[in-house]
Structure 1
Amino acid sequence: MWKTCCAGLALLLCCASQAEAHFGMIIPSSSSVMEKKDAALKLELSFSHPMEMQGMDMAAPKAFSVTVGGKKEDLGKLLAPAKVMGHQAWQASYTLKRPGVYQFAMEPTPYFEPAEDCYIIHYTKTIVGAFGDEEGWDEPLGLKTEIEPLTRPFANYAGNLFQGRVLLDGKPVPGALVEVECYNKGQRHTPPNAYFVTQTIKADENGVFSYSVPWAGWWGFAALNTAAEKMDYKGSPKDVELGAVLWMEFVAPRGK
């Protein structure tokens, strides 16, 4: 009886931890643009549990930028308050002016998570291809931690295999753990149980991971590592979870 109770409790705790994955989010109105009429992007920046559609309040980002053709532009001045999943979030409008690969990146204000007794900093990015140019989609931005795409990160079909490399301080992270969730907007998908909320992958010795996306939509990949330095919280040093987050759209092909 006691063993059965312990096993049940362990399963509940495991499932609860599975449901606690956090994701920084940058979701643009389109991940690839071919016509000028679609060039005015709207971007939503938030912090959430995307599969469960549970939002969290997010303070103003520490930094928000776009990099195209090797040139970085500060977009912090474009941010305006918004609501995403019923919680404090941010939005911006940005017009694509020329062909290129536009890498949008956010560094959030550190967030302290009492349930995990640590700070969370998710360096988040998404990549938009514009007007037929696709040069440089695999170039890292030099963030503290990030996912370097090995598959073109836009114009992908649902069912495609995505590969990425986890970088920390510009170097691959052997055996990095990568959490994967979809942005379950409209709550169209119901996980069979809590294990299915967050998919988990372990990168190889070169920091490379692979994932085959099962259905169309926006998918987030979050590679998690612990910072070497701690941060103070009310006089106590706390661990810092560093997340390298990449958001990508996978699209269903159009039928007749």
Structure 2
Amino acid sequence: MTLTSSPSRPIRISLAVALMGAAGAHAHFQELIPSTDIVNAETGNNVTLEMRFTHPMEGGPLMAMGEPVQVGVLSPGGREDLKSSLQAEEVDGQRTYRLDYKIKQPGDYVFYLEPAPYWEPAEEAMIVHYTKVVVDAFGAEEGWDADLGLPVEIEPLVRPYGLWAGNLFQGIVKQDGKAVPFAEVEVEWRNDGSVKPPSDPYITQVIKADGNGVFSYAMPKAGWWGFAALLEGDEPMKNPDGEEVPVELGALIWVYTREMR
């Protein structure tokens, strides 16, 4: 795993050294998965979102989630705080979260999550993955490229729904509202158990953005795809032992593809 910084924020040597031993570690992905990516008369207007911190291509294991810092949605009706709708659940012995949401009008609904910081001893870093997913409602198809103003964020350049397997997805990696040149982006498919990676490099795909922070990836299979740009946080955080440690900020977006039949 490689952390990327903006030109004004070079990666500290201590951070690079601390993470050298984690080069072979498998990627963590914060999941924010809706029950459907497109709401219409057939699906009804209720959406359930599941929040898990896991390794999607490997199907686990899950990591325990603390109570999220913020959960919300940006929709045609404005921005809504959904934290009061969170429901804690235990899955495989670990805490996860979910929420139920009722779509109120046509438009695109950009759901987002800021999880509680997660301490990863293997990487000697705190992890915070700002995650979003877009749900289209009743064919309005407006608002999918909205900027949420998160500290780190992926701005989609391709409408992130209505995609066929094999489509090319593109996005801009941003930190503090500015594009991050040559940011590294990790990509994983949310495995439904039908694929067994032949070796470790097939678990997490790794791509780099260009000089304008734009990355591209063609999704070869139907299902949920997670894109995670890992960037260095501005300030260190304290780990559970009270020690100041580096922070890995993740800019994540989830998109869904279907087979063309």
TM-score scaled by length of structure 2: 0.88
1:107 aligns with 2:114: yes
User: By how many angstroms is 1:70 displaced?
Assistant: 6.7
1:158 aligns with 2:165: yes
Match for residue 63 of structure 1 among 70, 93, 105 = 70
- The residue aligned with 1:222 is 228
CA contact (8 A) 2:28 2:55 kept: yes
Give the percent of matched residue pairs that are identical in Structure 1 and Structure 2.
49
- Report the structure number with the largest CA radius of gyration: 1
Alignment length (residue pairs)? 240
Shift of 1:38: 2.3
Post-superposition Cα deviations, 1:20-76, rounded to whole Å, max 9, x if no partner, equal 201111000000112164211111011001101111111111110011127110100
**Do the aligned residues in 1 keep the contact of 2:76 with 2:105 (CA within 8 Å)?**
no
Corresponding residue of 1:188: 194
- Judged with a 3 Å threshold, the aligned counterparts in structure 2 of structure 1 residues 155 and 32 are, in CA distance, closer, same or farther, namely same
Q: Which residue of 2 aligns with 1:212?
A: 218
Within-5 A mapping of 1:16-165: 17-35=23-41, 37-54=43-60, 55-69=62-76, 71-84=78-91, 87-165=94-172
Counterpart in 2 of 1:240? 247
- Note if 1:201 corresponds to 2:186: no
Structure 1 CA distance for aligned equivalents of residues 44 and 67 of structure 2: 27
Give the whole-Å Cα distance in 1 for the aligned partners of 2:194 and 2:234.
40
* 8 A Cα contact 2:226 2:252, kept in partner: yes
1:68/1:103 contact within 8 Å kept: yes
* Cα distance in 2, alignment partners of residues 207 and 251 from structure 1: 27
User: Separation in 2 of the partners of 1:183 and 1:24?
Assistant: 11
Letter in 2 for 1:103: V
Deviating runs (4+, > 3 A) in structure 1? 16-19, 83-86
Unaligned segments of structure 1, at least 5 residues: 1-13
Higher helix share: 1
Structure 2 counterpart of 1:87, which letter? Q
- Counterpart of 1:226, as a letter, is E
In 2, the alpha carbon distance for the partners of 1:94 and 1:206 equals 36
- Conservation of the 8 A alpha-carbon contact between 1:19 and 1:198: no
TM-score (norm 1): 0.90
User: Is the 8 Å Cα contact of residues 106 and 137 (structure 2) preserved in structure 1?
Assistant: yes
CA–CA distance in 2 between the matches of 1:206 and 1:120?
A: 25
Gaps of 5+ in 2: 1-19
Let me know the Cα RMSD of the aligned residues: 1.7
Provide the secondary structure at the position in 2 that maps to 1:56: coil
